C-alpha cells in the first residue's frame, strides 16, 4: 500500500516534469537536463552506497570514461553524430562497466574506510590520465565537442535533448528499481546489513558486490555520454575528486537506499549550485551548510523526513494515549 502510493507519486512527478519543462525558460530547461544527468550518476552510486553499503569516492571516473569516449569518438572519428548516437550510448555504458569491472578487481576486497580510499585512488588514476595524457584527452583544456547529434530530429534543440535525457533517466530508474526489487537486489541489502551472515548462508558476497560495482559503472558511463553532449566540453574538471564527492552528497542528501532520493539530491544540489550561484555570491556557504546540517540532523536524507514526521506523530499520539489512561485510572 505504502509503496504503491510512493510509486504513484513518482510517476505523477515525472509526468509533471515532462509536461511542464518544455514551457520553462531555456536556462531552466538546460538546468533540469543537467540535474537529470547527475540523477543517473547519483542513482548508480546509490546501488553501491545505499543498497550494498559501499561508499565509493570514485564514481566520477565512470562518468569521465563515458564522456571522454563520446568526445574522442565524435572529434577524431566523426562517430556518434547521427543515428550512431545510440551506439555511442551503448558503448558508453560498456566502457563504464568495463572500467568498473577492472577497478572492481582491486576495490571490492577492501571494506569501510579502505574502500573509500581505494576508490578515491582509482578515481584519481582516471583524473591523472585525463589531465596529463595530452595527445588523447587534450589535457587541461579538455575536448570541445561538435554540435549535438542529428538524425531526423535535431538534438541541438535543448528541449529535444531534454526529452532524450529524460527518457534515459526513466529507463535507468525503472531498470534500477527492478534490480533492487529482484532477489539479487535483496541479497545486496543483506550484504549491507550483515555481510558475514550472508557468507555463512552460502552467498558469494564478493561476486554480488562485484556485479553491483560493474552495474553502477555502466550507469555512470551512460551519465557520462549524456553529460558530454549536454556541456559540449569534456575536461579533467569533470573527473575531479569533487565530482565524485558531489555524487556521494547527492545520495546522502536525498536519502541512501531509495533510488529516488539520489535523483532528488541531484536536483537540489544542481539548483543550489547553478541557480543560487547567479543570485547569491555566497551560495557555497549555503551548500556547505546544507551538507553539514544534513549529515548532523538528517541521517536518512530528505527521503527520511516523512518517515520521521510519521514517527514523531505516532510517538506523540501514543504519549497522549498513555496520559489519558493515567488520568482515567486516577
Partner 1 sequence: MNAQFWLIQSFNGISYGALLFLLASGLSLIFGVMRIVNLAHGAYFLLGGYVALSVIWTTGSWLLALPVAALAIAAVGLVMERVFLRPLGFDPLRQVLLTVGFAFVFQQAALDIWGGDNLDINPPDLLRGSLVIGGLYLPAYRIFMICMAGVMGLILWLVMEKTRMGAMIRAAVDDSEMARGVGINTSRVSMFIFALGAFLAALGGAIGGAFLGIYPGLDFEILPIAFAVVIIGGMGSLTGAALGSLIVGLADNFGRALFPEVSYFTLYAPMVLILAVKPTGLFGRE
Report, in Å, the least distance between residue 54 CB and partner 1.
10
- Which residue, 24 or 298, is less far from partner 1 as judged by CB? 298
Name the residue among 155, 158, 177 with its Cα closest to residue 80: 155
Residue closer to partner 1 by CB (options 170, 245) is 245
Q: Where are the beta strands (DSSP E) in the chain?
A: 143-144, 150-151, 153-154, 233-234
Q: Least Å distance between CB 65 and partner 1?
A: 14
In the complex, minimum distance from the CB of residue 250 to partner 1, in angstroms, rounded to a whole number: 11
β-bridge pairing 233-234 and 153-154: unpaired
Judged by beta carbon, residue 168 or residue 253, the one nearer partner 1 is 253
Residue 233 forms beta bridges with which residues?
144
Shortest gap between Cβ of 134 and partner 1 (angstroms)? 6
Closest to partner 1 by CB, 86 or 285: 285
Q: What is the DSSP letter of 109?
A: T
For residue 96, count other CB atoms closer than 10 A to its CB.
Answer: 32
**Which residues neighbour 42 within 8 Å (Cβ) at sequence distance 6 or greater?**
247, 250, 251, 254, 262, 263, 265, 266
Closest CA to 243 of 27, 32, 42: 42
**Binding residues for partner 1 (CB under 8 A):** 49, 55, 57, 106-107, 109-110, 112-114, 116-118, 120-122, 124-125, 127-129, 131-135, 240-242, 245, 248-249, 252, 282, 284-285, 287-289, 291-292, 295-296, 299
Rounded least distance, CB 227 to partner 1, Å? 20
> Least Å distance between CB 81 and partner 1?
28
Shortest Å, Cβ 113 to partner 1: 5
Continuous H helices in the chain: 2-20, 26-46, 60-77, 85-107, 112-132, 134-137, 158-181, 183-193, 195-200, 205-231, 241-254, 260-271, 277-279, 283-297, 305-329
Check if the beta carbon of residue 229 is closer than 8 Å to that of residue 149: yes
Cell output for 143: 575536448
Give the N- to C-terminal CA distance of the chain in Å, as an integer.
40
Question: How many other C-beta atoms lie within 10 A of the C-beta of residue 11?
Answer: 11
Exposed, middle or buried by CB within 10 Å (0-12, 13-18, 19+), for 158? Answer: middle
CB of 91 to partner 1, least distance (A): 23
Distance CA 218, CA 195 (A): 24
CB nearer to partner 1: give 70 or 124.
Answer: 124
Nearer to partner 1, 1 or 113 (CB): 113
Closest separation between CB of residue 87 and partner 1, Å? 29
Pick 187 or 294: Cβ nearer partner 1: 294
Phi, psi torsion values for 22, nearest 5 degrees: -60, -20
Look at the block and give the residue holding cell 530528505: 302
Between 170 and 286, whose beta carbon lies closer to partner 1?
Answer: 286
Nearer to partner 1, 85 or 127 (CB): 127
Amino acid at each position: 500500500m505504502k509503496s504503491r502510493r510512493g510509486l504513484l507519486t513518482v510517476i505523477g512527478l515525472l509526468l509533471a516534469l515532462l509536461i511542464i519543462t518544455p514551457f520553462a525558460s531555456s536556462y531552466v530547461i538546460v538546468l533540469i537536463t543537467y540535474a537529470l544527468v547527475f540523477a543517473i550518476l547519483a542513482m548508480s552510486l546509490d546501488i553501491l552506497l545505499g543498497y550494498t553499503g559501499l561508499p565509493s569516492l570514485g564514481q566520477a571516473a565512470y562518468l569521465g570514461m563515458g564522456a571522454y569516449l563520446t568526445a574522442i569518438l565524435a572529434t577524431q572519428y566523426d562517430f556518434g553524430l547521427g543515428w550512431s548516437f545510440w551506439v555511442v550510448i551503448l558503448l558508453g555504458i560498456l566502457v563504464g562497466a568495463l572500467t568498473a569491472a577492472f577497478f572492481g578487481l582491486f576495490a571490492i576486497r577492501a571494506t569501510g574506510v579502505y574502500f573509500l580510499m581505494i576508490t578515491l585512488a582509482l578515481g584519481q588514476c582516471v583524473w591523472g590520465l585525463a589531465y596529463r595524457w595530452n595527445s588523447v584527452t587534450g589535457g587541461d583544456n579538455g575536448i570541445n565537442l561538435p554540435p549535438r547529434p542529428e538524425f531526423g530530429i535535431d538534438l541541438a534543440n535543448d528541449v529535444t535533448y531534454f526529452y532524450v535525457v529524460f527518457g534515459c533517466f526513466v529507463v535507468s530508474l525503472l531498470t534500477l528499481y527492478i534490480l533492487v526489487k529482484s532477489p539479487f537486489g535483496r541479497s545486496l541489502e543483506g550484504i549491507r546489513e550483515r555481510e558475514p551472515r550472508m557468507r555463512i548462508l552460502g552467498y558469494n558476497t564478493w561476486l554480488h558486490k562485484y556485479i553491483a560495482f560493474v552495474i553502477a559503472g555502466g550507469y555512470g558511463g551512460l551519465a557520462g555520454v549524456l553529460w558530454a553532449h549536454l556541456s559540449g566540453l569534456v575536461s579533467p574538471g569533470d573527473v575531479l575528486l569533487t565530482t565524485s564527492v558531489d555524487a556521494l552528497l547527492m545520495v546522502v542528501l536525498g536519502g541512501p537506499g531509495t533510488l529516488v532520493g539520489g535523483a532528488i539530491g541531484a536536483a537540489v544540489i544542481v539548483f543550489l549550485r547553478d541557480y543560487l550561484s547567479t543570485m547569491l555570491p555566497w551560495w557555497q556557504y549555503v551548500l556547505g551548510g546544507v551538507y553539514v546540517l544534513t549529515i548532523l540532523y538528517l541521517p536518512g536524507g530528505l527521503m527520511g523526513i516523512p518517515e520521521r514526521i510519521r514517527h514523531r506523530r505516532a510517538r506523540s499520539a501514543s504519549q497522549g494515549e498513555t496520559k489519558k489512561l493515567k488520568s482515567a485510572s486516577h
